[in-house]
Amino acid sequence: MNRHDLQKQMINEALKHGFTDCEVFYLGGESFEVLLMEGEVSNYENSSEGGVSFRGTYEGRTGYAFSERLEEESIDFLLTAAKENAMLMSEEEREELFGGEQYPELKGYFPELEQVCVEKRIQLAKRMEEAALNGAENIASLDYCVLGIAKREVAIVNSLGLDISYTKNFASGYVSAIARNGEETKTGSAFWKGRDWADFDPEETGRRAARRGAGLLGAGTVDSGTYAAVLDGKAMTSLLSSFSGIFFAENVQKGFSLLKDRLGEQIAASCVTLRDDALLEGGYASVPFDSEGVAGKNKAVIENGCLKTLLYNRKSAKKDGMGSTGNGFKAGLTSPVKTACTNFFIQKGENTLEEILQQMGNGLYITDFMGLHAGTNAVSGDFSLSAEGFLAENGKITKPVEQITIAGNFYTLLSDILAVGADLYFAASGKGSPSVLVKEMTAAGK
């Protein structure tokens, strides 16, 4: 059954069955992925999925139900299940639907991306693989080389007149190269994501992974102590991702963040501006509206070190007497609405990486953190993480470093940033950061 027709019919039937208001949320997608191994296709996948989540108010209570069957026969099942679930809830937990507002124009779907034939996509993956294998000395093999395309569609229709949808797509490539010298092995990876095949350089992506892996061979540790440190974009992004929840209003309200009553205060160095931009052109996480139907917005969370706003969904915004910032999202059909970031990133500065290293002089250049789930405390901001990277002396990278543990506090780190680079990096999640120079960090080595 046509997706939109099903949504409209379900709304009409729900009102006839005693629901006073209701909403049908549709989530669908398609994906293509090809995995290479030694020049041959080892896995090929072309799949699609879709489903609807219904919520409605019945006898003053909100009930939910979902189905992956987009058929007229599923309507009765959904309405019956939602009624039964509603009776298990209290009236205090009733959810208010949103009638809509003016929405921005945001181009997210690029049909030409999918018009490249499968053979061409496989050839691009093979070029990336070959470049990785030949991109540096000591590259022994690859443990992963994949190229894919994904499309996502979201549509919300409710009884208040809301009827909105968007479709977005993107392509991605990922390669991981294994460097070996005797018994020592190191892995380097590179990732690309975009909406135009013309922006994809498979050779450079492959060579970047090879250089990263080979560059870590011969790594040693350093003396334990306090060091100035440059965190590259990937490393800083991983920290930002781990602690992004401290900026969610619902966590502040529950006492899971130390930012309570800090709006308007200086919480970071003046060179730090942290943004959440739902309408970022070409952004990985750009959306015209969130899962509650609230229009996407560009906003500074931290501006020149000052905390300007928290991130709100409709429920947490109502509790604080604020408006939603458009950050209420469902992780899937069966998931409730929670706060989530869109394009969440530290705004780039003007300094090149070389200039930041020169400013640091002597210290550590950190390129990767490990153990992020176990080694971070999302409430206190404390972290203790295994790390690898390079030693920098007189502003120059001298030798690779491993087997060190970096400890610190994320709130303190934000205040200790001395410079922000121009080399803005984005992860597939939409979170990003340039390289940053931090005044000091504690390293445990030998």
Q: What is the pLDDT of residues 181-195, one digit of tens each?
A: 999 999 999 999 999
Average pLDDT over residues 353-364: 97
- The answer, yes or no, to whether residue 8 has pLDDT greater than 90, is yes
Give the confidence band of 317 by pLDDT, cuts at 50, 70, 90: very high
Q: What percent of the chain has pLDDT over 70?
A: 100
State pLDDT tens for residues 59-105: 999 999 999 988 899 999 999 999 999 999 998 888 999 999 999 99
pLDDT classification of 437: cutoffs 50, 70, 90? very high
Contact assessment for residue 66 and residue 51, using Cβ atoms and an 8 Å cutoff: yes
Which domains are present in the chain? 3-213 (3.30.2290.10), 220-446 (no CATH)
Q: How far apart are CA 279 and CA 281, in angstroms?
A: 6
- pLDDT reading at 1 higher than 80: no
**DSSP H or E run through 13:** helix 3-16
| Confidence grade of residue 162 (pLDDT, cut at 50, 70, 90) | very high
Q: What is the rounded average pLDDT for all residues in the chain? A: 95
Neighbours of 159 (CB within 10 A): 19
**What mean pLDDT comes out for the span 253-263?**
97
pTM (2 d.p.): 0.94
Specify the pLDDT at position 446: 87
What's residue 66's pLDDT? 95
Give me the mean pLDDT over the 375-394 stretch. Answer: 96
Burial 290-308 (b: 16+ CB within 10 A, else e): bbbbbbbbbbbbbbebbbe
Which of left, alpha, beta for 134 (phi over 0: left; psi -120 to 50: alpha)? alpha
Question: What is the per-residue pLDDT across 11-62, written as a single tens digit (0 to 9) for each?
Answer: 999 999 999 999 999 999 999 999 998 888 988 899 999 999 999 999 999 9
